[in-house]
Amino acid sequence: MTDRLPGFSTLAVHAGAQPDPTTGARATPIYQTTSFVFNDADHAASLFGLQAFGNIYTRIGNPTNAVLEERVAALEGGTAALAVASGHAAQLVVLQQLLRPGDEIIAARKLYGGSINQFTHAFKAFGWNVAWADPDEIESFERAVTPHTKAIFIESIANPAGSITDIEAIAAVARKAGVPLIVDNTLASPYLIKPIDHGADIVVHSLTKFLGGHGNSLGGIIVDAGTFDWSKDNKYPMLSEPRPEYHGIRIQETFGNFAFAIACRVLGLRDLGPALSPFNAFMILTGIETLPLRMQKHCDNAKAVAEFLSTHPAVSAVNYAGLPGDKYNALLRKYAPKGAGAVFTFSLKGGYDAGVNLVSNLKLFSHLANVGDTRSLVIHPASTTHSQLDDAAKVKSGAAPEVVRLSIGIEDKEDLIADLDQALRA
């Protein structure tokens, strides 16, 4: 008998979560504890030596967080996952496994502004160098490859303009270079795009956005696709070499196709420390149960709002891949036929000042630095998230002075359109 394969919505509700063995609780309990007792000295030694599966300390793992990890791994089609405190923490922990001082990462120029800052400044201080490439020009990734390149990093749907990345084309560059492709899938969520199906080796998320979905809990996650051979060229000693932290264990040899997730846990999270609170894990898990319903509504609302703005006299341009004439529409039909997400930008004829005015005149849209909330959000990137970039970099990353970014919520679309209309007229 062949096992039946469950659909996405079934996984969103069930994956990772079985009734609690101790109490029978059906909802996932919040294991709000720092530590877990050992059965005896040998059990403790087995756990510390990575010989047994089990819980030691919440900085390394927690049963509530483990449900979240398995659920996102299942939704993305990965072998395992590791939840951490934020999307930024996920990126830090991933790159710590891959890069040594003097190594390089090639990153798409169109990224969340916070990621651009993290890569440009914080990681540079570790001796991790970034080479920027243009996701609209695949050859720019090929040209950036050097003997020091250890990974390629892109967003599936890219911040802030909601552009669609040709994941398969960039995956081919990564394969040729012998390095893993890391895809930040935050803005798409696995409901719209599953990067692993298109060649990603590692997927990261800010769970804070659509997966959690309610703007109430920070979190990040790393998903291991189980596709990359870390031992092939000895380029990744954290996975291929005997680890002195664990008496000489080789992580890939011991953990096979989920070795990367284990390395992130036992070498990254354990030693860097950005653990996710079990309470946040519970909130995010609850959010994920309705991800398919919310994400479709987000997309449908966003398309209606983008259509409205595209005909508005105060608006000079709308960047939304879901509009038929958009330059990313062909890639959208290939990668995300269910919808173009809910984050996009548009440009005002009135420039920087019109952007500032619009934000202050809106009554339903909240002015804040987040996306992927049930509520509709607005921000003027040039004066906020991307303000630390110089003018040329602002334009290149899609955050020119006249640009406003929206994150469309799940309210009634007529109310969102009415709010934008009155604010644009005011």
Partner 1 sequence: MNHDAYDDNYIRSILNNVKSIAMVGASPVNVRPSYFAFKYLAQRGYDMIPVNPGHVGKALMGKPFVASLADIDRPIDMIDIFRNSSHIMPVVEEALKLSPLPKVIWMQLGARDDAAAEKAEAAGLKVVMNRCPKIEYGRLSSEISWMGVNSRTLSSKRAPIPTQGMRLSLNRTSFGGGQTAASDRAAKNKTETT
CB of 24: closest distance to partner 1 in angstroms? Answer: 5
Residues in 60-99 that interact with partner 1 by CB under 8 A: 61, 63, 65-67, 69-70, 73-75, 77-83
Nearest approach, Cβ of 211 to partner 1 (angstroms)? 15
- 3 binds partner 1 per the rule CB under 8 A: yes
DSSP string, 168-179: HHHHHHHHHHT-
Q: How many residues bind partner 1 (CB under 8 A)?
A: 65
CB nearer to partner 1: pick between 54 and 273: 54
| Other Cβ atoms within 10 Å of 378 Cβ, number | 21
Q: Give whichever of 113 and 195 is closer to partner 1, judged by the CB atom.
A: 195
Q: CA 147 → CA 105, 178, 202, 213, 232, distances in Å?
A: 11, 10, 21, 40, 15
Distance separating alpha carbons of residues 214 and 293, to the nearest angstrom: 13
Q: Determine if 2 is a binding residue for partner 1 (CB under 8 A).
A: yes
Contact code string over 235-264 relative to partner 1, x by CB under 8 A: -------x---xxxx---xx-xxx--xx--
Question: Binding segment for partner 1 among 11-19, 109-117, 321-329, 355-363 (CB under 8 A)?
Answer: 11-19
Angle between helices 63-76 and 278-289 (to 10 degrees): 40
Q: How far is the CB of 55 from partner 1 (least distance, A)?
A: 6
Helix crossing, 291-310 with 413-425: angle to 10°? 30
Closer Cβ to partner 1, 10 or 32, answer by number: 10
Q: Which SS3 state, helix, strand or coil, does residue 138 take?
A: helix
CB distance 92 to 126 below 8 Å: no
Per rule CB under 8 A, is residue 192 in the interface with partner 1? no
Minimum CB separation from partner 1 for residue 221, in Å? 9
| Residue ranges in 42-61 that form contacts with partner 1 under rule CB under 8 A | 43, 46, 49-55, 61
| CB of 180 or CB of 355, closer to partner 1 | 180
In which element (H, E) is residue 255 found? Answer: helix 251-255
Cis peptide before 237 (omega within 30 of 0): no
State the burial class of residue 121 (Cβ atoms within 10 Å of its Cβ: 0-12, 13-18, 19+). exposed
Contact 156, 167 (CB under 8 A): yes
Interface residue list for partner 1 (CB under 8 A): 1-6, 10-11, 14-16, 18-22, 24, 39-40, 43, 46, 49-55, 61, 63, 65-67, 69-70, 73-75, 77-83, 196-197, 225-229, 242, 246-249, 253-254, 256-258, 261-262, 265
